[in-house]
Amino acid sequence: MAEEERDLTQRTLRKRAEIAEKRNGAGVNRIRGSEPPHSKGACGRVRSMGKSFDIGLERLVGAGVAGIGATQDGGVPFANDAQGKKPPLHDARRPFATQGEQDAGATGSTFYLETFGCQMNDHDSEKVAGVLLARGYRQVDGPEAAKVILYNTCSIREKAAQKVFSRLGELRPVEEAERKWIEERELGLKRADLEIGVPGEEDSEQRAGRVKTRRLQSTGKIIGVLGCVAQQEGEGIFERAPWVSLVCGSASYRKLPQLIAELEAGNRRVTGLDTDTDETFETEITRRDNPFRAYLTIIEGCDKACSYCVVPFTRGPERSRASGSILEEVRRLAEAGYSEVQLLGQTVNSYADPSARKMRFSELLATVADVRGIRRVRFTTSHPRDFGKDIVEAIEAHPTICDHVHLPVQSGSTAVLRAMARRYSREEYLEKIALMKAARRPISITTDMIVGFPGETEKDFEETLSLLDEVQYDSVFAFKYSPRPNTPSLKMADAIPEEEKGRRLGILMDRQREIQRVRNEGTVGETFEVLVDGKSRRENQWSGHTSSNRVMNFTSPEQELLGNYVQVKVVSAMPNSLVGEMVGRT
């Protein structure tokens, strides 16, 4: 009977995964307005290489952090401590906060924070929350209850920026009379029964009353735009959304309490739009949103100046954090119970240690991997130009460094790469791939691709498709070209029609989906170490990530697996995820 129940559970797991695969569509991961894998989307929704919502898993979050967490389920316990107790999740997320800071956060003003974009934005939001919490602010789970409403934004693609202004539009002051009329109309009341007139039919005195009501409704709310859209649009945001009072880029987050204080003192609008400052890294407290994986920004900005990319304008020039500061934070994270760290940067492997130690990126990787208590080290996103054999050797020599490299290619055509100002050819990129393919330890390779770049011919597109076949990526993040402000590609001729962009994207996605299906099916029968980071509402169903960043949905009757490393045998596979059964702990 036990064997029959196990088989039934496995069949159910596979069926739900298959349904989710069909719902997801193609095997290529399409991120809403952002770039690298393992990131979150609008509203803080978790996104990753394999989309672990295949079986409806509850993502790992805790109470009191809605707006930057994955969901609002709350209350998931942290792994057992040395005394066998389970410390509250919010304590694990804020390992550097003092008790006094936590107490202050319970009595101050309220704020709501919503995040759009990649891991760097996720981590920036952790910093923003930490700065505000340390100064007596309390986080709430919706804008209605907040005195300060903040949107941390992404501008890497046009659609992402549009979402931000759409969200701001939802906060446009609404006249109380119109709101009441709409509410009562929805309740089915007759217009004759209403005490107010129909919007648009009032006289000047009524309109003046509505305008007064609007001002009263706006009193006391501070609405702020943070991040890349803030840096890109600057004070122009005030013109598009006059009810916004704060515009602040990522390099000025430490100044947020000061900027908010200026607004509370009577200033109508304030900005913080510096970019070239090392203060980007040095926030006093970081509010951690995952009790097992911690993000660390080691390099900010970008000097590569790709012709389509807005990052150099929104994030500024490259500046690296001192290795000693990074290592000290990693040690504190390990002491706080974190077992996985992810080093972040727009071009993370371009890291240049500004301290006297002058550590190379590969040396930093190896040193972080040797920190006691750290079991996994990830890094993203790498630029092909600065990717060398030393990084592969570090992965080979240190099992703690995950066997996964995200190496964006953008196009398989040298002609298009030249127009993109990517600083390498197809052949040079393939040399980097060859380094990884020749490694003693298998390395999972993922990438980003853009279709429909200005001037991209059918032949260029076919070269991109042939690159998929040659490299055999484990996952691809594919996008239609999106023109961005302040980029050279805006002036390029031979724009590709949107319909053609969509056609090419669909073809690429279908091709990559088949590649992922074959590659994942090749893992059936293998056993992987999995960090358990999700639990389904369904009994005995769990989710986690392998070292290669594949999502593993698996069954186990054991309890309290969250945060533990387990051995899972693959029993079936889909293009975006694996299905397995737990065979042991590690």
> Model pTM greater than 0.85?
no
Confidence at residue 30, expressed as pLDDT on a 0 to 100 scale: 40
The three-class DSSP label of residue 479 is: strand
Question: Phi-psi bin for 195: left (phi > 0), alpha (psi -120 to 50), beta?
Answer: alpha
- Per CATH, the number for 42-46+88-173+217-272 is 3.40.50.12160
- Per CATH, the number for 412-520 is 3.30.750.200
Confidence at residue 158, expressed as pLDDT on a 0 to 100 scale: 78
CA-based nearest residue to 409, from 330, 508, 488? 508
What does the block give as tokens for 309? 């990319």
What DSSP letter does each residue of 454-469 carry, written as one string?
TT--HHHHHHHHHHHH
What does the block give as tokens for 226? 């943070």
CATH topology of domain 292-402: Transcription Regulator spoIIAA (3.30.750)
Maximum CA pair distance of the chain?
80
Residues facing 319 on adjacent strands: 300
How far apart are the C-alpha atoms of 138 and 134, rounded to whole Å? 9
What does the block give as tokens for 311? 């990052």
Per the CB < 8 A criterion, the answer to whether 378 and 343 are in contact is: yes
The Cα-based distances of 66 to 133, 136, 226, 586 in angstroms read 14, 18, 17, 32
How far apart are the C-alpha atoms of 211 and 51, rounded to whole Å? 47
- Residues with Cβ within 8 Å of 306's Cβ and at least 6 positions away in sequence, in order, are 410, 420, 421, 422
- Do domains 2-30+523-585 and 292-402 share one topology? The answer is no
What DSSP letter does each residue of 36-60 carry, written as one string?
SSS-B-GGG-B--TT-GGGGTEEP-
Tally the residues of the chain: 586
What does the block give as tokens for 421? 């100002």
Averaged over successive runs of 10 residues, the pLDDT of the chain (586 residues) comes to: 55 58 46 35 31 27 27 27 30 35 51 88 89 90 90 84 85 58 55 39 45 42 91 91 92 86 89 74 75 92 94 89 95 95 96 97 98 98 97 98 98 98 98 98 98 98 98 97 93 95 98 98 98 92 97 95 97 97 95
Distance spanning both ends of the chain, measured CA to CA: 28
Report whether CATH 2.40.50.140 matches the domain 2-30+523-585: yes
For the chain, helix, strand, coil in percent to 5 are 40, 20, 40
Q: Where are the domains of the chain?
A: 2-30+523-585, 42-46+88-173+217-272, 292-402, 412-520
